[in-house]
């Protein structure tokens, strides 16, 4: 199945500091492409993979689950580690959960974590019913394009495949148990109004990680897909400053490579 125009993975070979960006559930690299390009223009090496089952049609996602999505970002992290002195992991929504698990499992191989509206759990009766409902219904309405900015849209599925959603539920439960293993510096940015992931998810993550270097930033003008919303520039600038503080060579690389 061909990849939807705009949903293609993105890679840029830059300096010795690398960033792995992870997109969200039923979304695509399009939601993080402006962020990836911002970091690439400043001399960083960037990887933004397309997760299996995403970026084509929602039916394809029914054939995948969290082990497939995690294996893809784990592989990309290992590739970055081979060519970069430092690697940071970042993500939006489910991508934030993927980034946190990479940090928990790879330890010192990850220099820092940046998450935007990270998911910590699926909530409500519907989520608890998924193990049964997924056998009765193939999909439900989509969650893409929760954006306050008029004219900005997210390239994502208009349906949520319930078999995949049940896998996400199991994955988030697993990540929740691993959060105490996250010790790296953490930058967490979350919207005060989010119609997909409640602010309580960010609070849960902050309460469970073992990181001592933690920065929390509220995004007051954006909804869930904040990387495409009014606060996008702030996300990009804060993440670059965070990386630059922990990897001082970034500023020099940006000057040399970005011209």
Tens digit of each residue's pLDDT (9 = 90 or more) over 56-92:
999 999 999 999 999 999 999 999 999 999 999 999 9
What is the 8-class DSSP label of residue 117? S
Q: How far apart are CA 96 and CA 191, in angstroms?
A: 14
pLDDT at 251: 64
pLDDT at 259: 31
What is the 8-class DSSP label of residue 50? P
pLDDT at 255: 38
Binding residues for substrate: 25, 94
Which of the residues 194, 201, 229, 231 is marked catalytic? 194
User: Which domains can be identified in the chain, with CATH numbers?
Assistant: 10-246 (3.40.50.1820)
Which of the residues 23, 54, 190, 224 is marked catalytic? 224
pLDDT at 254: 42
pLDDT, tens digit only, all 259 positions of the chain: 799 999 999 999 999 999 999 999 999 999 999 999 999 999 999 999 999 999 999 999 999 999 999 999 999 999 999 999 999 999 999 999 999 999 999 999 999 999 999 999 988 767 777 877 878 788 998 989 999 999 999 999 999 999 999 999 999 999 999 999 999 999 999 999 999 999 999 999 999 999 999 999 999 999 999 999 999 999 999 999 999 999 988 865 443 333 3
pLDDT at 172: 97
Binding residues: 25, 94
What digits encode the pLDDT tens for the residues 123-141? Answer: 876 777 787 787 878 899 8
Is residue 45 within 8 Å of residue 13, measured between CB atoms?
yes
Is residue 101 within 8 Å of residue 175, measured between CB atoms?
yes
Is residue 184 within 8 Å of residue 111, measured between CB atoms?
yes
Q: How far apart are CA 48 and CA 20, in angstroms?
A: 6
Determine which helix (DSSP H) or strand (DSSP E) holds 10, and give its type and residue range. Answer: strand 10-12
To the query of whether residue 224 is one of the catalytic residues in this protein, the response is yes
To the query of whether residue 194 is one of the catalytic residues in this protein, the response is yes
pLDDT at 258: 37
Which of the residues 93, 167, 191, 211 is marked catalytic? 93
Determine which helix (DSSP H) or strand (DSSP E) holds 80, and give its type and residue range. Answer: helix 66-83
What is the 8-class DSSP label of residue 226? G
């Amino acid at each position: 199945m061909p990849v939807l125009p705009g949903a293609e993975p993105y890679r840029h070979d830059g300096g010795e500091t690398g960033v792995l960006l992870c997109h969200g559930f039923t979304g695509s690299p399009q939601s993080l492409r402006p962020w990836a390009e911002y970091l690439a223009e400043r001399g960083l090496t960037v990887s933004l993979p397309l997760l299996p089952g995403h970026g084509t049609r929602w039916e394809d996602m029914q054939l995948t689950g969290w082990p497939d999505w995690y294996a893809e970002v784990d592989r990309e992290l290992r590739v970055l580690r081979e060519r970069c002195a430092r690697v940071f992991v970042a993500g939006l929504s489910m991508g934030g959960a993927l980034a946190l698990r990479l940090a928990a499992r790879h330890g010192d191989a990850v220099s820092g974590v940046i998450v935007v509206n990270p998911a910590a759990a699926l909530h409500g009766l519907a989520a608890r019913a998924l193990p049964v409902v997924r056998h009765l219904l193939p999909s439900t309405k989509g969650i893409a394009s929760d954006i306050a900015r008029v004219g900005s849209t997210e390239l994502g599925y208009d349906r949520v495949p319930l078999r995949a959603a049940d896998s996400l539920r199991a994955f988030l439960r697993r990540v929740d148990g691993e959060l105490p293993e996250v010790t790296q510096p953490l930058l967490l940015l979350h919207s005060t109004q989010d119609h997909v992931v409640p602010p309580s998810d960010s609070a849960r993550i902050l309460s469970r990680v073992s990181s001592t270097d933690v920065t929390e930033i509220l995004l007051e003008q954006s909804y869930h897909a904040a990387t495409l919303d009014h606060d996008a520039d702030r996300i990009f600038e804060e993440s670059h400053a965070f990386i630059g503080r922990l990897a001082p060579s970034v500023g020099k690389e940006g000057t040399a490579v970005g011209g």
